[in-house]
Amino acid sequence: MILKTSNIIVPIHVEALCVNSKLQGETFLGPSADFKMLPKKSRDGASWLNGPYLAEAIEKFPQIPLEKGIHLHWALPDVITQGTVSETQDLAFPAAPNRWLVTRIYTSYKNPEKPINHIQSWVVESDYVMLNSSENFPTTFPCDTESQFHLFLGKVYSLMDWIKRDQTDRNYLKIQTGKDLTSIGYGNVNFSSYYPNCRNVFGFYDSLIESFEIPDFDPGSNQISYVINGWYENPEDDILNLYASRPEDLKWKFNEDYPARTICSGTAQNVIWDNNKDYNEIDQQSDLKVTIGNNDIECLSALFASDQGKHSNAVEYQLNALQLGILNKLAGESDLPAKLEEELHTKAFDVAKGGNIWEVVKKAKTETSLHSESATEVSLSEIAASLLNELNLLQYEYDKARNQLESLRESLYMDWYRSMLLQYLPDKSGAKSALSEEDTNDLLSNLQDYIATSQDSLLTNFVKEIGNYQYDPKTFICSTTSDPASLAQRIVNKWKALDQELAKGSMEYRIQLSNSPSYFRPKDPVILLSGDAASPSIRYGYDHTFDESGKLPCRKRNELLQHLTHKNTSLMFNIDDLSLEDTYEQLPLWDDIALILTEAFIADLNQSTFIAFCLYKKSETNSSVSFSELAKALQDFQTNLLRQNSIESSEFAVQGILPIMPLAINIWQSNPSSPLFLYWEVEYHPVQRLISGDHTSYAKDLISGNFLLDQFNVDFNARNDIPLGDYQKYSGTVMLTPHGFIDLKAALTQYLQESNDEELSELLKNAHFAPLLSQSLGGFHDALIMQHESIQMQVKDPQEPLPVYQNFVNSVAENVNNYLSTNPLPQNDFNPIRGGFANVSTLKLIDIFGKERILPTDPDHLIKSENLTVNTGNPNVDRLIYLPPRLSQHARLLFRWISANNDRIESNDHPASSPICGWVIPDLLYEGLFFYDYDGSPLGIINLINDRSVTRWTSFPQEGKNVLPLGSIADQINDIKKSVKNVHLLNFILSVFPIDDKESSLSRSAHFLDQLFNSINKSAGTIIPANTNEENNLALLMGRPLALVRASLDLELKGLPAHELSWATLQEETQNDPKQIRNTRGFTEVKFPVHLGDLTQVTDGLVGFFKGTENNTDYGTFFSPAAQDHQDIVKQPNDSTIMLTSDPLAATSYLTLLIDPRVNIHVTTGILPVGSISVPPDQFETALRKLQLAFPVHPILSAKFSVAIYKPLIPGYTWKWMFAKEGTWKSEPEIIKPSTVAEMGYTPQSVKEGWLILTPDSE
């Protein structure tokens, strides 16, 4: 049990905004979401007023004037603003303090020797809720009541009124809704950080009525300070209780025992109120720089590189590598430049879960570790492997169907939303301008019928067909209660069958879920602001920076500044000197708050005269005390206290420690400039703009006609003649976050301690590490597909009470099933494929009080990362932001191994499902190719004879097998067909071999082998597996073993293709069958190039490939990145070699690849991160260990009864002599080393010929 003693005082930051007559005329922005225009019943209850129950009815950042006076806003401690993920995966936020005492200390120094303090306090009840409010700009909170769909949150009392309030009042948030007040309010992450969102909740407006009424008010002789103290009305809600069992996670530093209650406290000192002052901020934009990139890393590198002149690209490259942690390795590893490009490219994408795959693993000795043994250690029976493949095929269909279901729900919501716009907001939504009044009415009627039909014919039945299963990762049990015919039930049935099959074996296995390949979507471009105007506020996210422990320093009551005593007279300043009303003593936690108020005077330099006056009054009987000397000494003491945190003084003594500055004490200088949001507008120029209603579709060659994907790059380059089309504007408002430039400075400093890089050293010396703020242009890619991410309301329409209609609404709500992510933007253009150029036309900073500041956006001064820069030679294009091609919705490239024997079986843990069709080894002595079966068994050799003009097949010499005569082409083909069982290996060999003895066929075969051999040799120089050094002894005899493998390629969208949401298209769609595919404007037929392999990486194992479709591979042309130019059979692949579309019905591309299986095979699309796959080692290591080599030995003269021939010593291998005898291959295991000196004597000699066989010792 934790002993709880005294309360804890937690520092918070308080900010003050002065709005006088001059500033009152300026416009501020209101709340990020104002709910008061949601439906509300009329006073007589007979009708509904306001707009529909839609996000469209929620006002976002409306322009408002702020009232004259001082506006206060306080921040909450970081730990109260941070959510935690519960066991149910829900994000939960702790309750926030809901009672706040706001105390204004108003001091007049008209008579310097007799300062007067006016102290007034209010209490803010943050969680009080009301149906109506008399406030000008009250805080609204969405909530269903009988008469309206919002409440007003927060109430302010004078201290006296609060003490006398009706304590039986039950109008509080938790009582009315069952929910605590948290930092995110109704679910908005910026609820508590933005004053217009939380006035009278975590903010306060002081009208300063007294100052307006004081004649000849002199700002110079008056000062105002505010002290804020907050606590939990119900001690059980206190955050201390939440962390009582894990106090380290609280991240608060305190002494002694665990605290009992929390008091959040902060002060804004010396707020200068002047009705004639110009409060507009000093211009801080002169040094402001704006940078744009794909991500934070690119932005930061481009920003610092921009100061380096002509070498900026090289510096940007180095800084990117530094931030990715690989700069110090670049010089030593040849692959790293390519890996850097890949990593940067990957970081330009967001990731979404791709679904699941099932795998079989050995049970751990103890089931405490889920992954103690990997699936690659398992070799399944044929039946189990077949069941596993069937289970994964069902899982793939299930995941695909679930994604399609989400797409259907999204489409239903988009249709429902547009029906509401038609019914209630035809003007605002653009429907009236796009359609005639008659068409608008017809569309509304048709759309509701369309929705009803689509629900019945698609969603309702589809949900049943899919079902839902449960998998327990602790017990590894799969179960369902879905319909017997559902996909979910079929998965469970197949899982049970596999489980039962595995139980028959001697090993103990389990079946578990793993992640399948992820989907990717381009990140919205990132804007980085640098300069004083981008200074982040310390009020959020910096609690860990005030102490080296990483914890926020807090204090107990005995650590507050108190007992300020004049040593010579023993006179003490205390709470009694403030002459407070007796009502203060009725406040909760008054003993602590009294000391906090006293400390507010002790820690305020401007109160030195007032404190001196209080002490002087007490010393009237002591004539030795001089008021002026006392005031001067006290001011010196306070200066030393505040600036050096020292309580040592010859004249004064004080107990306690100073609170954290400038967090707990904000010494006000001017109206704050604490940027919180960034408003952006972007002009996007697509290379092909689709106008709503014009019935045009995307050009299928949209990508290849305007962009080029070079085989040495990971992304597209724009062609020089790329058009600059018309633009459409997109806009949004995003919350800014501080950027970790300090991390870059530290990393750069550390790197330079180990390196002599003069350029980076100069950069570090000259760089101005200005404040930085950054954020993505959130919602940009949503807007491209005509969607807007914002607060969404549940499907509901209270304004039409007819039961039939309400049944329809309830049905829609049930089928939408809480899909509430985005709403349609029918007036936008449809851009499911991004590709073109952009210009940031408007940027505005919005501070915590809603004040806007316009930022410069001249494209010629915008700093662009290298990856968003283009050089076409057209200055009108090159000055813009380059946006290379991307799909605007989530997609993935499925690059999968498939069974060498069956294209429909994906490679799994059964050996027979291996993708390996066979093996090829180059014969460097005779310029030919050795061929082997998938398990390493030798088959034969093809090499060039007759001056390289003819190819010949020779069966591999094997003891006991018949020696086949050389024979005709037809005989050799028959032997090949008898020897080779795998159809793909067979077709590969036959493609190299002539089909007959005609000259053209012989010539083509010779050319093919020659080109193939050269391509393999050239590729060998670019592939360096990790164990290359072990092969050096064999390098002069043979090339590396290469596997012939099968793979497939699919470009797959997540869910259904995005479709156009315009009014014109909707009008056409509602006249069709809802089962028809929605209008995609043909974007799924646009072709995207795919490049296999990467010659720039020594860890890429591709030699080349044949392409085709299922059961129909074209072995007539071999594509190899290492091929020479202008060859006719072995060709270099280009952008058109492999092209995929995102059409869900498109055929899978099947490939036969020749690879070094010990390294990865990379695949590049530009529109997605670079992918790679590798063959599991257990599927090829055994075969590699048994590969034999055979070298023909032409007639030699040797001893009659032995073989004497030179054989190189190769560790791990044994030589043997193979020769033909009586039509059968025989072996001579002993080979004598020939003598190197002349000898006397006679040994019978004979002429011999045969083969030297090199066999691994394991064989």
Q: What does the pLDDT read at residue 385?
A: 87
How far is the CA of 630 from the CAs of 564, 565, 623, in angstroms? 13, 12, 12
Q: What percent of the chain is helix, strand and coil (3-state, nearest 5)? A: 30, 30, 45
Residue 421 phi, psi dihedral angles, 5° rounding: -65, -45
DSSP 1150: E
In 3D space, the residue among 667, 680, 631, 674 whose CA is nearest the CA of residue 651 turns out to be 631
DSSP 1079: -
Beta-bridged to residue 678, according to DSSP, are: 734, 845
Which tokens in the block code for residue 182?
């948290």
How far is the CA of 346 from the CAs of 523, 749, 1171, in angstroms? 10, 27, 10
63 and 88 share one domain = yes
Write down how long the chain is. 1259
- Measure the CA–CA gap between 816 and 818, rounded to whole angstroms: 6
pLDDT per residue as tens digits for the range 674-720: 999 999 999 999 999 998 878 899 999 999 999 999 988 999 999 99
268 and 212 share one domain = yes
Q: What does the pLDDT read at residue 367?
A: 46
CA atoms within 13 A on the CB side of 377: 12
Residue 478 and residue 471 in contact, taking contact as beta carbons nearer than 8 Å: yes
1019 and 1147 share one domain = yes
Task: Tell me whether residue 1127 is in a domain.
Answer: yes
Beta-bridged to residue 1047, according to DSSP, are: 897, 1151
Task: Tell me whether residue 342 is in a domain.
Answer: no
The string of DSSP codes covering 719-763 is -TT------EEEEEEEE-EE--HHHHHHHHHHHHHH---HHHHHH
1148 and 1199 share one domain = no
609, 632, 667 - which closes a domain: 667
Task: Tell me whether residue 1077 is in a domain.
Answer: yes
Q: What does the pLDDT read at residue 460?
A: 86
What pTM, to 2 d.p., does this model score?
Answer: 0.91
Task: Tell me whether residue 286 is in a domain.
Answer: no
Q: What does the pLDDT read at residue 847?
A: 95
Number of domains the chain contains: 5
Task: Tell me whether residue 745 is in a domain.
Answer: no
Residue 485 phi, psi dihedral angles, 5° rounding: -90, 0
655, 682, 700 - which closes a domain: 655
1071 and 1157 share one domain = yes
Pairing status of strand 262-271 against strand 8-11:
parallel
Task: Tell me whether residue 925 is in a domain.
Answer: yes
Task: Tell me whether residue 789 is in a domain.
Answer: no
504 and 583 share one domain = no
In 3D space, the residue among 1016, 1131, 1125, 1052 whose CA is nearest the CA of residue 889 turns out to be 1052
415 and 543 share one domain = no
396 and 412 share one domain = yes
204 and 81 share one domain = yes
Q: What does the pLDDT read at residue 733?
A: 95
- Measure the CA–CA gap between 955 and 1224, rounded to whole angstroms: 13
How far is the CA of 380 from the CAs of 393, 787, 903, 904, 1036, in angstroms? 17, 47, 19, 18, 39
Q: What does the pLDDT read at residue 780?
A: 97
636, 667, 698 - which closes a domain: 667
Positions in the chain short of pLDDT 70: 1-5, 87-89, 210-217, 281-286, 309-311, 330-332, 364-378, 621, 623, 739-743, 766-769, 908-912, 1027-1037, 1200-1201, 1229, 1236-1243, 1259
Contacts of 470 (CB under 8 A, 6+ apart): 478, 479, 480
Residue 400 sits in which domain range?
Answer: 381-515
How far is the CA of 710 from the CAs of 247, 435, 886, 1100, in angstroms? 56, 46, 16, 17
pLDDT per residue as tens digits for the range 715-748: 999 999 999 989 999 999 999 987 655 567 777 8
489 and 580 share one domain = no
1230 and 1107 share one domain = no
- Measure the CA–CA gap between 667 and 603, rounded to whole angstroms: 10
Task: Tell me whether residue 683 is in a domain.
Answer: no
E strands, 947-1036, in order: 950-955
How far is the CA of 1003 from the CAs of 366, 950, 1008, 1017, in angstroms? 64, 7, 9, 21
The string of DSSP codes covering 1196-1246 is EEEETTSEE------TTEEEEEEEEETTEEEEE--EEPPPSS---S---EE
How far is the CA of 44 from the CAs of 134, 296, 594, in angstroms? 20, 56, 50
- Measure the CA–CA gap between 1110 and 930, rounded to whole angstroms: 27
203 and 234 share one domain = yes
Pairing status of strand 863-864 against strand 289-293:
parallel
